[in-house]
């Protein structure tokens, strides 16, 4: 069994996005990945090296004012050192975000992550779920209740703490962690087969 290395590079302003990062990481580990959860606002040189050695990097940030947080943008700019050397070329990438509003322009944050990944020559892993909670038979507890396709979107009321992150959004992040791990395993097996 191939053990992919999945790293989660995230920023969390008030702890809500951290809940998603931990859930995603735990699900990836349960699916068979070696997992590193890295806070980008306190990233060390050793953690940069963990990202460089990863098979997949999942980007995470709250959505503030229609985009990723300032701390995540600083990290993204710092990845230019990796861009010059193609250090992340052909790795897998994915993303997740949280905001106080149901929409909150989270799609823009996910697009920002996908563009960052594309600039590095990475391969984007989408959520792979149909939208939930979009019919009279649906429920707010459906997976992908907010209907995002490019990554995992979550909503937490702005007057509540991390303990209030919606259970369906946590489960959606867990789904993404498993999907990234399974995709990485297939991708690595394919690369190994081509090398033979």
pLDDT at position 196 is 87
Spell out the alpha helix ranges (H) of the chain: 16-30, 45-52, 70-78, 80-85, 106-119, 167-195
pLDDT beyond 90 at 138: yes
The helix or strand, by DSSP H or E, that contains position 4, with its residue range, turns out to be none
- Confidence grade of residue 141 (pLDDT, cut at 50, 70, 90): very high
State the pLDDT at residue 1. 82
Token pair for 183: 């995709």
Beta bridge partners of 93: 57, 124
Q: Which residues on adjacent β-strands are paired with residue 64?
A: 67
Angle made by CA atoms 51, 44, 57, in degrees to the nearest 5: 20
In Å, what is the CA distance from 26 to each residue of 9, 117, 132, 177?
14, 23, 23, 8
The pair of structure tokens assigned to 162 is: 């991390």
C-alpha distances in angstroms, 145 versus 58, 111, 131, 139?
Answer: 20, 19, 6, 8
Both structure tokens of 76: 């993204």
Prediction pTM value: 0.97
């Amino acid at each position: 069994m191939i053990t992919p290395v999945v790293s989660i590079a995230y920023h969390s302003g008030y702890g809500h996005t951290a809940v998603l990062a931990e859930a995603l990481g735990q699900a990836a580990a349960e699916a068979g990945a070696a997992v590193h959860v890295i806070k980008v606002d306190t990233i060390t040189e050793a953690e940069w090296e963990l990202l460089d050695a990863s098979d997949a990097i999942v980007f995470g940030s709250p959505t503030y004012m229609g985009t990723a947080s300032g701390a995540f943008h600083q990290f993204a700019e710092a990845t230019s050192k990796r861009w010059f050397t193609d250090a992340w070329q052909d790795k897998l990438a994915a993303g997740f975000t949280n905001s106080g509003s149901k929409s909150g322009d989270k799609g823009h944050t996910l697009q920002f992550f996908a563009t960052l990944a594309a600039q590095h020559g990475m391969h984007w892993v989408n959520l792979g779920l149909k939208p939930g909670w979009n019919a009279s038979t649906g429920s707010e507890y459906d997976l992908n209740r907010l209907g995002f396709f490019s990554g995992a979107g979550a909503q937490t009321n702005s007057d509540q703490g991390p303990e209030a992150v919606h259970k369906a959004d946590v489960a959606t992040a867990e789904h993404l962690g498993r999907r990234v791990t399974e995709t990485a395993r297939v991708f690595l097996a394919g690369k190994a087969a081509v090398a033979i």
